[in-house]
Structure formats: C-alpha cells, structure tokens
Amino acid sequence: MGPSVSALLRQASDALRAVSESPYEESVSKAVDLLETAITAGHKLLAFGNGGSSADAQHLCAELVGRFQRPRRALPAIALTTNQALLTAWSNDHRFDDVFARQVEALGQPGDVALGISTSGNSPNVINALARARSLGLRTLGLTGSGGRMAEHCDVLMSVPLAETPRIQEVHLVTYHTLCAALEERLFGAS
C-alpha cells in the first residue's frame, strides 16, 4: 500500500506553501496583468496542452466563459483541446506537432493571448503553438514546471519551482483558479 491520504495531503500542502514563499507569485501577477489588458481591449484567450494539461486548459476556459465565483458576463476563452474531429484529422493527415499551431493560426488575432500548458515545458505541439502565436502577434503565456524549451516562446512564464509532476500539477490548479479570481476582481470589482 502506498502513502496514506493524509500523507499525500501534507505533501501537497507543503508544496503549495513552498511555492507561495518563492518568486512564482510574481510571474502569476504578470500573467494576470497580461490577461486583464488583453480582455479589456477586446481580445481572447486560447489555451492548450496535452493529457492533464488539456483538461486544465478546458477547466480554465470553462471558468472564464461560465463563471468562477460569482455571476458576471462571459469572458472570451477557447480551449484548443476540444475539437476531436480536428485534433484527430490533423494529427492523422498531417502531424500532431502542429495540431495547436494550426488552430492558433485559424483563431488567433494580434493582441489575443495564447496559453501553453506543459508540465515538462518540452511538448513539441505546445512549443510550436507558442512560436506560431508569437509570429502572428499574439501575447504568450506558459504554465510549466521546469520551463523547458517553451520558456523562450513565452512573454510570461509561470514556472513552478518543484520537481515532482503531481505537485507541479496541483500548483497549476491553484494557479488557474488564482488567475480566474484575480480577473473577476479586477474586471468586475470586489465581491
């Protein structure tokens, strides 16, 4: 039998505490600033990632379009991980490494924000989409662990200073909830 539930909860709590005492908060604040500026100017968020990061992109966009903590108008956010026909057709007929870049090309406009999520920071399709976004005049955010190769393609990199994948992913969840809470407060006032 593995670690107990309480032991895993303590590990998660310890990791969150360590990250909260690091410079990570500064990068999250910069990401909020970038998103606020873009949304206020009428632009949208395009979010993408693989596996659990794909689910994170969808969760974040659902919170922004729907609501996070209170009723308010919808915010423009699209997860590029939800069109199964496109994802499978493009990956089968062309290459999986460009599946998000192709959608950024189709949907992105200068001033929009592209958010790539990759725990390793080295997912080729995430890196290619961030590079394509930059070439088209989008602003770029990265949410990762070590930073990896995606770091050079990000205007703001939120790099969790931890080594274990599960702990990094737990911080990612708190990070995108923080983004949502901060955007709701800035755009719609304190609740």
- The per-residue pLDDT for 136 is 98
Point out which residues pair with 156 in neighbouring strands: 141
Region 106-129 average pLDDT: 97
Assign 21 a pLDDT band (cuts: 50, 70, 90).
Answer: very high
Q: Interior CA angle at 27 toward 149 and 57, to 5°?
A: 65
- The per-residue pLDDT for 158 is 97
For the chain, helix (H) and strand (E) counts, in that order, are 7, 5
Q: Interior CA angle at 48 toward 159 and 70, to 5°?
A: 85
Return the DSSP state at 119. Answer: S
Domain ranges of the chain: 5-188
Is pLDDT at 182 greater than 80 in this prediction?
A: yes
Region 178-191 average pLDDT: 92
Higher pLDDT, 22 or 3: 22
Q: How far is CA 69 from CA 64, 77, 104, 162, 190, in A?
A: 10, 17, 29, 28, 11
The pLDDT tens digits for 47-87 are: 999 999 999 999 999 999 999 999 999 999 999 999 999 99
Which among 24, 74, 87 has a CA at the least distance from the CA of 45?
74
Q: Are 66 and 74 in contact (CB under 8 A)?
A: yes
Share of the chain above pLDDT 70, in %: 99
Return the DSSP state at 122. Answer: -
The pLDDT tens digits for 158-174 are: 999 999 999 999 999 99
Q: Are 54 and 129 in contact (CB under 8 A)?
A: no
DSSP string, 154-183: -SEEEE---S-HHHHHHHHHHHHHHHHHHH
Q: Which CATH class is domain 5-188?
A: alpha beta
For residue 157, give the 3-state DSSP assignment. strand
| Model confidence pTM above 0.85 | yes
Is pLDDT at 98 greater than 70 in this prediction?
A: yes
Q: Is the dihedral of CA 80, 78, 49, 60 positive or negative?
A: negative
